[in-house]
Amino acid sequence: MRAAHDDADVIVVGAGPAGSATAHYLAQTGMDVLLLEKATFPRDKICGDGLTPRAVAELIRMGVPTEESDGWIRNWGLRTYGAGHRIEIPWPELAEMPSYGLARSRMNLDETLARHAVASGARLLEGVAVTGPVRHERSGRILGVTTRSVDATGRRTGEERSYRARIVVDAGGVSARLATTMGLEKNDNRPMGVAIRTYFRSPRHDDPMMESHLELWDGEPGRSNLMPGYGWIFALGDGTVNVGLGSLSSTAKPTKLDYKGLFATWMRNAPAEWEFTPENQVGELRSAALPMAFNRKPHYSQGMLLVGDSGGMVSPFNGEGIAYAMQSGRIAADVVSQALARTTPYAMEKALRTYPAILADELGGYFTMGQVFARLIERPEIMRACVKYGLPRPVLMRFVMKLLSDGFDRRDGDWMDRLIAALSRAVPAS
């Protein structure tokens, strides 16, 4: 039974993909869910805007319509360039996910998911910034959050007020301010990525393939230094493309790379027919950090669960975070609904403590392999050899695509799926 002074059964902080998925699934069980978002929709987030088949599978589970008439564009595989080679590999036919990806700007995606959560029964408050936790005086357990209103300029206004619930979910993104205030610090020994992107008007806006460039040079290609990371071009179907690059470090230490300079060099070397020119650029070049491989733990503590970026749920293999944001929200909602059905505080706490173990079983081994991958490819000589000798081999590249995109069946499939699944099970979660 909900306490009389509680404002909801569950408070979810942040209405990105992780928070909206959590709120959607909880609301479907009949929970009273309060979803707090500091911005006002529509609002932007730094992202490649590409959705892999694993992310699409999560959208399907949520029942989110993805018709092209609503602004979604499908892609059928990955085109990769490197060391003078080009290869196109279609998304595999799998049991666990569809054989296509999607692209949708985060300006539209996040609002779509938040409104979907509202349609499921969640209560969304926009322009509400969470300023801290409300905690039990003796145990320190979280009892709710304090908030301030945010005006159109992003400035906090008005008096502070509080909202209370038995369980709080932090879906506040990479900053994870609520989790930090609760004493959950990030692990600087986990991989950290940096993504930088902008938009261009381009004739490539309806390209049916995602595209990645595995060689980023800080000067003339082949005659300068090869940088750790890759570039991407994702068509959005609306006259524009998302163009960006991602850099990876095996730890959270600053890389000291000139990302804007690296991006400018890549654009100077881009073919003229792509029309990636300053005149066609839409919006500024912006960057964001990508917290990877469970870099903030534990994922449950003192009445609060971490989902998505707040818990470091970005893949070190490719920088994908949306799929794991929605997946962790789905898992968190299932755990929370089970916990709130218990009749004693001890039983509720026992149920909540299963959340980190479930995440570790689902993603821990795969993310551990990703940490090894990050340590390898940040060495330019290894990256150069992998691209030079691996890209011309289609069978090897299909295997690599499945591994890097998390595009494999975990319970059945071909020999590639079985091998990757076995490795992810054999490697311990860290």
34 neighbors 7 (Cβ within 8 angstroms): yes
Place of tokens 């295997």: 399
Q: How confident is the model at residue 222 (pLDDT cuts 50, 70, 90)?
A: low
Q: Is residue 389 part of a domain?
A: no
Q: Which residue has the higher pLDDT, 371 or 224?
A: 371
Residues 205 and 164 in one domain: no
Residues 20 and 145 in one domain: yes
- pLDDT per position as a tens digit, 77-99: 999 988 888 999 999 999 999 99
Closest CA to 366 of 322, 407, 306: 407
What is the CA 421 to chain-centroid distance, rounded? Answer: 21
Q: Is residue 413 part of a domain?
A: no
* Residue where one domain finishes, among candidates 291, 322, 338: 291
**Is the per-residue pLDDT at 24 higher than 90?**
yes
CA 417, 369, 176, 303 torsion: positive or negative? Answer: positive
Give the count of alpha carbons within 13 A of 379, CB side only: 8
Q: In DSSP terms, which residues pair with 12 in a beta bridge?
A: 35, 169
Q: Is residue 215 part of a domain?
A: yes
Q: How far apart are CA 212 and CA 233, in angstroms?
A: 7
**Is the per-residue pLDDT at 3 higher than 70?**
no
Q: CA geometry: angle at 26 spanning 22 and 30, to 5°? A: 165
What is the domain extent for residue 324? 8-73+102-188+293-371
Paired tokens of 223: 């005659």
Distance from the first to the final alpha carbon of the chain: 37
Q: Is residue 398 part of a domain?
A: no
Q: How confident is the model at residue 264 (pLDDT cuts 50, 70, 90)?
A: confident
Q: How far apart are CA 272 and CA 281, in angstroms?
A: 14
- pLDDT per position as a tens digit, 168-180: 999 999 989 999 9
Mean pLDDT is lowest, of 26-30, 148-152, 298-302, for: 148-152
Q: Is residue 38 part of a domain?
A: yes
Residues 137 and 274 in one domain: no
Q: In a 3-state reduction of DSSP, which class is residue 18?
A: helix
Q: Is residue 219 part of a domain?
A: yes
CA distances from 422 to 80, 317, 361 (A): 27, 17, 13
Q: Is residue 423 part of a domain?
A: no
What is the CA 220 to chain-centroid distance, rounded? Answer: 32
* Residue where one domain finishes, among candidates 267, 291, 315: 291
Residue type, 41: F
pLDDT at position 258: 80
pLDDT at position 246: 86
218 neighbors 225 (Cβ within 8 angstroms): yes
pLDDT at position 218: 65
Q: What is the rounded average pLDDT of the residues 323-348?
A: 97
pLDDT at position 324: 97
Helix 106-120 to helix 17-28 angle, to the nearest 10 degrees? 20
* Residue where one domain finishes, among candidates 241, 270, 291: 291
Residue type, 200: F
pLDDT at position 200: 96
pLDDT at position 251: 78
pLDDT at position 106: 94
Residues 150 and 212 in one domain: no
Residues 51 and 141 in one domain: yes
Q: In a 3-state reduction of DSSP, which class is residue 412?
A: coil
Residues 149 and 28 in one domain: yes
Domain with residue 179: its CATH number is 3.50.50.60
Q: What is the domain count for the chain?
A: 2
Q: Is residue 418 part of a domain?
A: no
